[in-house]
Each structure stands twice: as structure tokens, then as C-alpha cells.
Amino acid sequence: MKETVLITGAAGFIGSNIADYLRKSGEYRLILLDDLSNGRMENIAHLLSSGASSEDVLFVKGSINDYELLKAVLVDEGVDYVLHHAAVASVPASIADPKHSLEVNIDGTLTLFMAARDSGVKKVVYASSSAYYGEKNESPLVETMPPDPLSPYASSKVMNEFLGRHFNELYGMPTVGLRYFNVYGPRQDPNSQYAAVIPKFIDRCRKGLPPVIFGDGEQTRDFVYVKDVALANYRILKTAGADGRVINIGTGDGITVNRIAKIIIEMTGSALKPEYAPERPGDIRHSVASIDLARTLLGFSPRYDLRTGLKELIAPISDNP
């Protein structure tokens, strides 16, 4: 009998890609939970049709702030594992509306942890962020470094890590945090005012508009393809020795935003020049992961380098102008 995995935020960018990966593995029954405030049904519609039955994949519309709903789903569906990816996942959005961001990211995570604890799940894996580190003068960033959150979003992720540790140590509920660096890939919305840099750059180049860089563009980032993030989630379900830990998920390679813009301009076949805008509050200057712990605990190594990942995103655009 297949074990059952609940994915929160399953209709979102990262959650839907994880759902794809687990579905293709054929090893798990999936419960996909999303309130559709940010996620889109089109991201998971293919999982709910063409041969997928309620025995394989079930969608539940609901909020992670609803304890009774979560408890009912966890118990009634016999959930073994939770992959928690529901969040307000934006630094600018958290600055614009910190109350809403913290209600979802902290209160919602606490509610989910309580429901999981009370339902006896085997493990909760939750999404953390490289924003945990803030501005460090050292590179790469190692899990043992202290937090230095520079935004409400970052503070929410720090709090989630403390909550994860408490539930692991005080209540005996296994938890693992994955500190994602700059995730990119299919289904990442370029149209939001808070869109991440890669989909925004690709979208603007596609429209013949110059990419807009905030600051001088010399800030460095560690861009990890979402399919590698999905692989890390799959691996953690198979790993017994990571309970209570928090693990960086990135590539270990840094690149400047200027360089990213140049590569995307070249790969889209345009001759545009970037435009520059004032640096945004809460942005971090340099952020590159050490992935030694992920290699050791999970046997994780990224399968996609940056150009390989970008080809999957840009090739369809070039082929279908």
C-alpha cells in the first residue's frame, strides 16, 4: 500500500513541481492542499485528470490556518508525510503587508505543525529560505551561521525554523527544514509585481522590453532549478538521519544579476540592454549556498546547471514567438 503525502501550497510554483515529481515516481498517494490565493488550478489540473483518481491524487481547497480542516484531512486520508510549501513567498510583499505575511507564514505553519503532531504523521518537511542568513561577509553560507533576517518574510522563516526544532525536540514530531536559495523554473509567475528575477527577465525579453535590475546588478545569487528542489524533497522522504535539521538547497555556485541578464538576453536572441532602478529595501547583497550537508545527508547534487535549466524555459519561447 502506498504511503500518503500531503503537499501544502500544491497549486503554487514549487509545490506543483514537487507534486509532479512524486507522481512520476509512482511511490506515493498525493493530497494536494491549496487555498488558491496564489496557486493556480492549471498548475495541477493534469494531475487530477487523465488516469489520476482519488486513490492516487486528491485536491483539497483550504487554508493552513484552518486547524480543523487540516486535522480532518491528515486523519481521514491517513497522511504519512507533509511537505509544507504554502506561504506568502515574497520579501517585497512582506514589507508591503507584514501582518498578512506573518499570519500565513508563522501562524499557518504553527497551525499545520499542531495538526500534524495531533495526527501522528511520520515527518513534516517545511520550506525555509536563504533569507534566513541576511547579509553575511562570508561565502558560501553554511547552516550553522546565525540568522540575520532583513525583512518580515525572512523573520517568518527564522521563526518557522525555531518552531520546527521545538516540535521535533519537545513533541517528538520529526521535522526537517529545507533552506531554498533562488528557485526558478516552469510555472513561476512573471506577472506579479513581486515576481522573481529570472521569470521577469525572460518575460520582458520575450516582449522586447529590457530587463530591469534593482541596484547595480553586482549582487550574487545561487539559482537552483525547481526540479532539483523537487528531487531534494523526494530524497528527504527517504532519509532517516535528518530529523530536526535544516539543510541548504542550492547549487553552491553564485552568479551576478548582471550576468544572469546577459545570459537571458543572449538566449532569447535579443539585443536589449538592461535598465537599472534603485535598490529595493530588504534585498541581500550576496547569497551562495554551501550544499555539503545536503550531499552528506541526502546524497543530493543538483542535476541542472543554470544554462541547462534556462534552456528548458527559453526554448519553448524561441520556438513559439
Residue-wise pLDDT for 177-225, tens only, equals: 999 999 999 999 988 877 899 999 999 999 999 999 999 999 999 999 9
> CA separation (Å) from 151 to 98, 135, 188, 200?
9, 11, 22, 22
Specify which residues 58 forms β-bridges with. Answer: 31
Cα gap 39→99, rounded to integer Å: 20
Looking at the predicted structure, is the pLDDT value of residue 321 above 50? no
Helix (H) or strand (E) holding 30: strand 28-34
| Per-residue pLDDT, 113 | 98
What is the secondary structure of 164-213 as a DSSP string?
Answer: HHHHHHHS---EEEEEE-EEE-TT--SSSTT--HHHHHHHHHHTT-PPEE
* Residue among 28, 153, 225, 304 flagged as catalytic: 153
C-alpha cell at position 31: 493530497
Q: What is the pLDDT of residues 13-30, one digit of tens each?
A: 999 999 999 999 999 999
Cα gap 176→83, rounded to integer Å: 10
Mean pLDDT of 3-8: 98
Cα gap 149→143, rounded to integer Å: 14
Cα gap 178→129, rounded to integer Å: 7
| Per-residue pLDDT, 55 | 75
Cα gap 231→167, rounded to integer Å: 25
| Per-residue pLDDT, 191 | 84
| Per-residue pLDDT, 210 | 96
Looking at the predicted structure, is the pLDDT value of residue 50 above 70? no
Helix (H) or strand (E) holding 28: strand 28-34
For residues 84 and 123, the answer to whether their CB atoms sit within 8 Å is: no
Q: What is the pLDDT of residues 234-273, one digit of tens each?
A: 999 999 899 999 999 999 999 999 999 999 999 999 889 9
Q: What is the pLDDT of residues 35-48, one digit of tens each?
A: 999 999 999 999 99
Cα gap 277→260, rounded to integer Å: 16
Looking at the predicted structure, is the pLDDT value of residue 318 above 90? no
Coil, helix or strand at residue 39: coil
Phi-psi region of 187 (alpha: psi -120 to 50; beta: other; left: phi over 0): left
Q: What is the pLDDT of residues 260-309, one digit of tens each?
A: 999 999 999 988 999 999 998 888 899 999 999 999 999 999 999 999 99
**All residues at 6 or more sequence positions from 308 whose CB lies less than 8 Å from its CB, including other chains:** 225
Half-sphere exposure of residue 17: CA atoms within 13 angstroms, side-chain side: 18
Q: What is the pLDDT of residues 81-131, one digit of tens each?
A: 999 999 999 999 999 999 999 999 999 999 999 999 999 999 999 999 999
> CA separation (Å) from 200 to 22, 266, 268, 312?
28, 15, 13, 16
Banded pLDDT at 135 (limits 50, 70, 90)? very high
Per-position b or e across 147-182, b if 16+ CB within 10 A of its CB: eebbbbbbbbbbbbbebbeebbeeeebbbbbbbbbb
| Per-residue pLDDT, 316 | 58
| Per-residue pLDDT, 320 | 41
Mean pLDDT of 135-160: 96
Looking at the predicted structure, is the pLDDT value of residue 164 above 80? yes
For residues 169 and 158, the answer to whether their CB atoms sit within 8 Å is: no
Residues in the chain: 321
- Annotated active-site residue 153? The verdict is yes
Output the pTM of the full model: 0.95
Banded pLDDT at 319 (limits 50, 70, 90)? very low
Mean pLDDT of 130-140: 93
Residue with cell 553552491: 252
All structural domains of the chain, each given as residue ranges with its CATH number in brackets, are: 3-182+226-251+291-302 (3.40.50.720)
